[in-house]
Amino acid sequence: MHSPGALILLRSAAYLSCVALSSAAIAQDADILADFRLDDPAFDSGGFITVRERPQPQYDPVPLRLGRIALTPRATARALYDSNIFASGEATGDLILRPAAGADAEWASGSLAVEADADVERRQYLDHGAQSTTDYGLGAALRYAPRRNTALFAGARIGRETESLADPSAPLNSRRPVQYDILSSFVGAARGFNRLRVAGRLSAEDRRFGDGVDAFGDPIDQGFRNRSLLTAEVAMEYALGPNRSLFALVSANRRDYRNRPALDPVRDSRGYRVEAGASFMLTPLIRGRIGAGYFSQDFESPLFSTVSGLAVRGRLEYLVTQLVTLSLTASRGVEESSTLGSGAFVATRIGMQADYELFRNLILSASVSEERDRFQDLDRRYAIRRAGLSADYRLSPRFRIDAEYEARDQDSRGAALGRDFVRHQVTLGFTVEGL
């Protein structure tokens, strides 16, 4: 059994390993303060537990114990039907088999905790085999806590990922998903001072993109997207009480591109994001965390305009009953553009999700969301609406069944139209995990 302190360290290491792999768009929505509560009563949640947060130890996977190492292998078999695999106005459907395998390893001793993970996934299209891809990832993170209120951490990850044709950043003329290799690392520290906690992180990421393929089978060069990203973040939070706090964070980034097409301006840029807000409990049943501020991304080339504006990140959770949780999320920020003639676009997202614990081992969820993307220096705007239903059924600690349905309606407007399509996806999966 791990001590409570070791469990805190392991959860933090797992989170940081995921952050290292995330894209810049996802990373900007990550809350680095959430990793460093350090079991401090000043930041106690007050017993507020959502359906997804409720512990279910009787259904947790049982790891293989090798001394102090806890190894948890897993294997998943999924079948996905996609009604529009090319994300185009003329829908073409296909059945996709998605076998996957992976393992997590955890080790903790005293004030040091280490976690490593490895995974591989194949997407095999039955009727359009040229669309098939294989992704993989290998990562590790460690955390050292010499004192109860102090932590040092570091990690790295390497992998290959596939960019969906439905992604706003995907090349419009590609008929096959683009794959890219990613290498990332991070170091940081956190310290608590009574009611105040401070955290800082420095992360680096490198991406190398493979070519796309057009309708004639010719390659589409994506080398101009190869880039490195360096990000520095500092955040602090002050507890006003067990369920209330004020926070502020500042992040700065530098993006360097290695290749440039003859007709495309230099895409190198520097940017920052400042944000301040509060965490609170309006009532014993409503919890929230809302921040707002300003972002700016300035490009080296004068042909790309500076992108700036209101930065938003927030989440509200409402415990309708002990078995039902409603969540509302919102965010606004800048993201990289892979479109010639545009350096970035501003993405605004809002979503709502309901989670219902029908049985202790069966959680049903429904969600709706809307995203608005506005490209800089290019007359293109996206309105993306999603709706989904899902079920997560834990048969035992080893076996789990999941099912999901998602509908996506994407509209493009402006003189430089993008992808305009409707897509339905149905997924059914079976997972074996642990002993």
Which tens digit of pLDDT belongs to each residue from 346-358? 999 999 999 999 9
For residues 338 and 329, what is the distance between their CA atoms, to the nearest angstrom? Answer: 26
Give the pLDDT score at 337: 84
Give the pLDDT score at 32: 66
CATH number for position 208 = 2.40.160
Give the pLDDT score at 144: 93
Half-sphere exposure of 156 toward its Cβ, with a 13 Å CA cutoff?
A: 3
Query: pLDDT digit of tens for each residue in the chain (435 aa)?
Result: 333 333 333 343 333 333 333 333 333 334 566 655 444 555 556 678 899 988 888 999 999 999 899 999 999 999 999 999 999 989 999 999 999 999 999 999 989 999 999 999 999 999 999 999 999 999 999 999 888 888 899 999 999 999 999 998 888 888 999 999 999 999 999 998 888 989 999 999 999 999 999 888 899 888 888 999 999 999 999 999 878 899 999 999 999 998 777 777 888 999 999 999 999 998 889 999 999 999 999 999 888 899 999 999 999 999 999 999 999 999 999 988 878 778 899 999 999 999 999 999 999 999 999 999 999 988 999 999 999 999 999 999 999 999 999 999 999 999 988 899 999 999 999 999 998
The residues pairing with 172 across neighbouring beta strands, listed in sequence order, are none
Task: Please classify residue 89 by burial: count the beta carbons closer than 10 Å to its beta carbon, then call 0-12 exposed, 13-18 middle and 19+ buried.
Answer: exposed
Give the pLDDT score at 40: 52
Query: Is the separation of the CB atoms in 35 and 190 below 8 Å?
Result: yes
From the list 222, 306, 295, the residue with the least C-alpha distance to 264 is 222
The strand pair at 69-82 and 421-433 is best described as: antiparallel
Give the pLDDT score at 185: 95
Query: Is the separation of the CB atoms in 226 and 264 below 8 Å?
Result: no
Give the pLDDT score at 387: 98
| Residue 343 belongs to domain spanning | 4-433
For residues 261 and 403, what is the distance between their CA atoms, to the nearest angstrom? Answer: 43
Give the pLDDT score at 265: 83
From the list 177, 191, 167, 144, the residue with the least C-alpha distance to 33 is 191
For residues 231 and 40, what is the distance between their CA atoms, to the nearest angstrom? Answer: 28
Give the pLDDT score at 35: 55
Number of domains observed in the structure of the chain: 1
Query: Is the separation of the CB atoms in 157 and 133 below 8 Å?
Result: no
| Cα separation values, 302 from 31, 259, 418, Å | 33, 18, 24
| Cα separation values, 424 from 75, 93, 392, 406, 421, Å | 26, 9, 20, 6, 10
Query: Is the separation of the CB atoms in 88 and 214 below 8 Å?
Result: no
pTM, whole model, 2 decimals? 0.85
Tokens matching residue 81: 């039907």
From the list 76, 136, 69, the residue with the least C-alpha distance to 105 is 69
Query: Is the separation of the CB atoms in 370 and 401 below 8 Å?
Result: no
The residues pairing with 245 across neighbouring beta strands, listed in sequence order, are 239, 279
Give the pLDDT score at 340: 76
Give the pLDDT score at 33: 64
